[in-house]
């Protein structure tokens, strides 16, 4: 079981995080993994504990990066942490698996907490440059996000009282 601490100003893991986590457990073994928008580090730690060969975590929130470091230490996981926006820091790097627990609600005031379909589409376009042939992108979205996008396979869903959460997968064969 993963041990996590939480901090003010960092998204606290909820149903969306746990739904993505189940898919990460299935996909991460032996992979070079990038966790974008790492928050508490739950996905990166899950990838590490599921046998990923290397895990890089990134978040634009410095508090989230610090929390991910703390939680990785609590779980004896070696993660590489990069503080920054999406994929801005990566040049000539190709990942097997890219994870994104996106701010999927269509709120635009603060990119950290909302972004919706536009943010997810932009992310997928950027991520294509950093994925190996045969690689995959896993991301969370909601019935409020107005998806699906072309080429997205829904691999998990969870119905809540007010919305349905989904994990989307884009495969690069």
With respect to residue 7, please indicate whether it lies within any of the assigned structural domains. Answer: no
Task: Tell me the helices (H) and strands (E) count for the chain, helix number first.
Answer: 4, 7
94 assigned to some structural domain: yes
Structural domain includes residue 67: yes
Residue pLDDT tens, the chain, 173 long: 899 999 999 999 999 999 999 999 999 999 999 999 999 999 999 999 999 999 999 998 999 999 999 999 999 999 999 998 756 677 788 999 999 987 766 565 544 445 667 778 888 888 888 999 999 999 998 887 766 567 889 999 999 998 899 999 999 87
Note whether residue 3 is domain-resident.
Answer: no
Q: Does any domain span residue 61?
A: yes
CATH number, position 114: 3.40.50.150
Q: Is residue 127 part of a domain?
A: yes
Say if 163 falls within a structural domain: yes
| Residue closest to 27 by CA, chosen among 139, 149, 151 | 139
The dihedral formed by the CA atoms of 101, 103, 105 and 110, expressed in degrees to the nearest 10 = 170
The DSSP-derived string for 14-73 is -HHHHHHHHHHHHH-TT-EEEEES-TTSHHHHHHHHTT-SEEEEEES-HHHHHHHHHHHH
pTM beyond 0.75: the answer is yes
The parent domain of residue 145 ranges over 15-171
**Cα–chain-centroid distance for residue 103?**
10
Domains held by the chain: number: 1
Residue 10 lies in a domain: no
Q: Give the length of the chain.
A: 173
């Amino acid at each position: 079981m993963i041990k996590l601490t939480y901090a003010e100003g960092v998204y606290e893991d909820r149903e969306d995080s746990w739904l993505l986590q189940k898919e990460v457990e299935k996909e991460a073994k032996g992979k070079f993994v990038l966790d974008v928008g790492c928050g508490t580090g739950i996905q990166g730690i899950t990838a590490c504990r599921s046998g990923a060969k290397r895990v890089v975590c990134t978040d634009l929130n410095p508090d989230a990066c610090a929390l991910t470091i703390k939680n990785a230490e609590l779980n004896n996981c070696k993660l590489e942490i990069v503080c920054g926006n999406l994929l801005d820091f990566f040049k000539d790097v190709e990942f097997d698996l890219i994870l994104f627990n996106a701010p999927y609600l269509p709120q635009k005031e603060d990119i950290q907490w909302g972004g919706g379909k536009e943010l997810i589409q932009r992310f997928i376009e950027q991520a294509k440059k950093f994925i190996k042939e045969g690689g995959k992108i896993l991301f969370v979205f909601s019935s409020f996000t107005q998806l699906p996008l072309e080429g997205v396979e829904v691999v998990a869903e969870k119905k809540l009282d007010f919305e349905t959460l989904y994990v989307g997968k884009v495969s690069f064969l």
